[in-house]
């Protein structure tokens, strides 16, 4: 047994999920250590503007088809709750945010019909959505929402981790965890070794390395981004191609991001959209990153099978900010009170 008192919780990864969970547990009085592999905090949203979306990026009718009416509706409700809580959290942390709303554009005329139906159903459920029929976007219609929130996720992550009960260590890539005879868990990280009572893997696409079984549930998807100078022509965020491409204007820049689980023609589509929406804007940066997604595009929260006190939060996907807070809370409830997750459960109950 270690002579040193173990930490209550070790969080692996200082992205948004890790920061949210660490902060909630620290607020409850637990001593938390956050180990981050890279030299800085933020994960995939490092240096990115973040758009927390109301609802799912795909048309509501598609969500209903895929998940059933009840689940699709619950998901919209959760994203709405997520936004309310995010706004409160940002205010509490003194971080600026703006209710910029967003515009989802139909891909073609046949999808326009789907959008009309989606808007009608969402209105029935009481959501503040408007159907826009605007020639600027071609013959297609668009669904406009107004509550979507724009903020700087990195600022939030930094602030959340500034807590008296949290120790953050960067350049501390976790290499393995091993249960000890005394019940504590030994965590070996780059040039570090520590003991803890519980471990939370919040390490995005790298989680699969620690439990190969996760590869059955979580699929890595490649996200391509082009950053343009913001010429100010389009000011509202746009969600295109059934949620596979999003366009987020923020301060001096515009982030155009695209992803596809099949990698078919996303780069081609992204260039086509760039030509259409930002024809004369200078490109400042291009980069590629990875996120994980699960079938049905819902986050994953739970205790790893056969590994008591080792938990995971993952699968936030390309629109992770729309459910990150509720997912982090589900995990905190599990860790603190053994309350099993419902919608985001890792293993079906
Ligand atoms: C370019 C881009 C733009 C995006 N924009 C939006 C947006 O506008 N709105 C939206 O809703 N979503 C957006 N997303 C998606 C969103 O960023 C993700 O869903 C979310 O950030 C995932 O957070 P995470 O904490 O689960 O994972 P990550 O952000 O991947 O964080 C995981 C962290 O774990 C660390 N790590 C990995 N392995 C180890 C290890 N062994 N030891 C220690 N640390 C480790 C990593 O270095 C990383 O810091 C975007 C994603 C990308 C890539």
pLDDT grade for 135, boundaries at 50, 70 and 90: low
Query: 52 alpha carbon to ligand 1 midpoint, in Å?
Result: 14
Q: Is the CB of 173 under 6 A from ligand 1?
A: yes
Pocket residue to mutate for ligand 1, from 51, 318, 323, 330, most atoms within 8 A of Cβ:
318
Q: Is the CB of 303 under 6 A from ligand 1?
A: no
Judged against a pLDDT cut of 70, whether residue 29 lies above it is answered with: yes
Instruction: Give a yes or no: residue 179 inside a domain.
Output: yes
Beta bridge partners of 254: 228, 249
Q: Is the CB of 45 under 6 A from ligand 1?
A: yes
- Encode pLDDT of 236-252 as tens digits: 999 998 899 999 999 88
Q: What average pLDDT does this structure show over 152-166?
A: 97
Q: Is the CB of 203 under 6 A from ligand 1?
A: yes
Q: Is the CB of 258 under 6 A from ligand 1?
A: no
pLDDT grade for 137, boundaries at 50, 70 and 90: low
C-alpha to C-alpha distance for 233 and 222, rounded to whole angstroms: 28
Instruction: Give a yes or no: residue 279 inside a domain.
Output: yes
Pocket residue to mutate for ligand 1, from 10, 15, 51, 254, most atoms within 8 A of Cβ:
15
DSSP state of 269: H
Residue closest via CA to ligand 1's atom 15 equals: 318
Residues 280 and 189 in one domain: no
Instruction: Give a yes or no: residue 115 inside a domain.
Output: no
Pocket residue to mutate for ligand 1, from 12, 22, 43, 284, most atoms within 8 A of Cβ:
43
Query: What CATH number corresponds to the domain at position 302?
Result: 3.50.50.60
Residues 280 and 168 in one domain: no
Q: What's the pLDDT score for residue 24?
A: 98
Say if residues 143 and 118 touch (Cβ distance below 8 Å): yes
Residue closest via CA to ligand 1's atom 30 equals: 204
Judged against a pLDDT cut of 70, whether residue 72 lies above it is answered with: yes
pLDDT grade for 1, boundaries at 50, 70 and 90: very low
Residues 245 and 289 in one domain: yes
Percentage of the chain beyond pLDDT 70 is 96
User: Residue 226: which of 267, 263, 261, 265 has the closest Cα?
Assistant: 267
Residues 40 and 160 in one domain: yes
Query: 156 alpha carbon to ligand 1 midpoint, in Å?
Result: 13
**Alpha helices per DSSP H over 125-244:** 153-161
Residues 301 and 186 in one domain: yes
Q: Which long-range contacts (CB under 8 A, 24 or more apart) does 129-132 make?
A: 132/103
Number of domains in the chain: 2
- Encode pLDDT of 7-19 as tens digits: 999 999 999 999 9
Residue closest via CA to ligand 1's atom 19 equals: 320
Would you give the end-to-end CA distance of the chain in angstroms? 35
Residues 177 and 269 in one domain: no
- For residue 294 the two structure tokens come to 């699960």
**Alpha helices per DSSP H over the chain:** 16-27, 60-67, 69-92, 109-124, 153-161, 266-277, 324-337
Residues 208 and 228 in one domain: no
- Encode pLDDT of 189-240 as tens digits: 998 999 999 999 999 999 999 999 999 999 999 999 999 999 888 889 999 9
Beta bridge partners of 99: 149
Say if residues 59 and 114 touch (Cβ distance below 8 Å): yes
- For residue 199 the two structure tokens come to 């471990």
Instruction: Give a yes or no: residue 62 inside a domain.
Output: no
pTM of the entire predicted model: 0.95
Report the nearest atom of ligand 1 relative to the CA of 210: 41
Instruction: Give a yes or no: residue 245 inside a domain.
Output: yes
User: Residue 11: which of 31, 27, 28 has the closest Cα?
Assistant: 31
Q: Which residues contact 136 (CB under 8 A, 6 or more apart)?
A: none
Q: Is the CB of 41 under 6 A from ligand 1?
A: no
Residues 305 and 206 in one domain: yes
Residue linked to tokens 């046949």: 110
Q: Residue 343 phi/psi, 5° resolution?
A: -65, -35
Query: 239 alpha carbon to ligand 1 midpoint, in Å?
Result: 20
C-alpha to C-alpha distance for 140 and 134, rounded to whole angstroms: 8
Residues 300 and 207 in one domain: yes
Q: Is the CB of 315 under 6 A from ligand 1?
A: no
Residues 207 and 305 in one domain: yes
Say if residues 293 and 244 touch (Cβ distance below 8 Å): no
Q: What's the pLDDT score for residue 130?
A: 92
The whole-chain average pLDDT of the chain stands at 92
Report the nearest atom of ligand 1 relative to the CA of 172: 43
Instruction: Give a yes or no: residue 180 inside a domain.
Output: yes
Residues 172 and 234 in one domain: no
Q: What's the pLDDT score for residue 262?
A: 67
Instruction: Give a yes or no: residue 93 inside a domain.
Output: no
- Give the least confident one: 36-45, 258-267, 325-334: 258-267
Residues 169 and 208 in one domain: yes
User: Residue 312: which of 48, 24, 112, 13 has the closest Cα?
Assistant: 13
Residue linked to tokens 């890792």: 346
C-alpha to C-alpha distance for 65 and 34, rounded to whole angstroms: 40
Q: Note down the domain range covering 328.
A: 7-46+154-216+296-337
Residue linked to tokens 């053994």: 338
Instruction: Give a yes or no: residue 303 inside a domain.
Output: yes
Query: What CATH number corresponds to the domain at position 233?
Result: 3.30.70
């Amino acid at each position: 047994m270690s002579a040193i008192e173990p930490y209550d919780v070790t969080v692996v990864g200082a992205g948004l999920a890790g920061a949210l969970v660490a902060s909630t547990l620290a607020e409850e009085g637990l001593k938390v250590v956050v180990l981050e592999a890279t030299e800085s905090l933020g994960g995939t949203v490092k240096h990115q503007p973040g758009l927390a979306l109301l609802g799912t990026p795909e048309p509501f009718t598609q969500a209903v088809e895929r998940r059933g009416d009840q689940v699709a509706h619950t998901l919209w409700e959760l994203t709405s709750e997520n936004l309310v809580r995010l706004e409160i959290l940002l205010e509490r942390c003194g971080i600026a945010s703006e209710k910029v709303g967003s515009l989802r554009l139909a891909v073609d005329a046949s999808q326009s019909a789907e959008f009309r139906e989606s808007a009608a159903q969402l209105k029935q459920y009481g959501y503040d959505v408007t159907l826009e029929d605007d020639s600027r976007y071609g013959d297609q219609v668009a669904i406009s929402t107004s509550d979507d929130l724009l903020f700087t996720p990195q600022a939030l992550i930094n602030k959340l981790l500034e807590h008296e009960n949290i120790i953050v260590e960067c350049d501390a890539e976790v290499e393995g965890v091993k249960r000890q005879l005394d019940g504590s868990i030994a965590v070996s990280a780059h040039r570090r070794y520590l003991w803890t009572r519980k471990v939370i893997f919040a390490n995005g696409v790298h989680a699969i390395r620690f439990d190969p079984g996760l590869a059955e549930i979580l699929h890595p998807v490649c996200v391509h981004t082009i950053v343009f100078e913001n010429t100010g022509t389009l000011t509202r965020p746009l969600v295109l191609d059934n949620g596979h491409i999003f366009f987020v204007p923020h301060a001096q820049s515009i982030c155009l991001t695209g992803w596809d689980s099949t990698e078919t023609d996303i780069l081609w589509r992204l260039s086509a959209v760039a030509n259409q929406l930002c024809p004369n804007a200078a490109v400042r940066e291009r980069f590629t990153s990875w996120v994980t997604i699960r079938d049905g595009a819902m986050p994953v929260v739970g205790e790893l099978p056969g590994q008591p006190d080792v938990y995971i939060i993952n699968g936030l996907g390309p629109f992770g900010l729309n459910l990150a807070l509720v997912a982090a809370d589900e995990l905190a409830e599990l860790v603190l009170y053994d309350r099993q997750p419902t919608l985001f459960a890792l293993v079906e109950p």
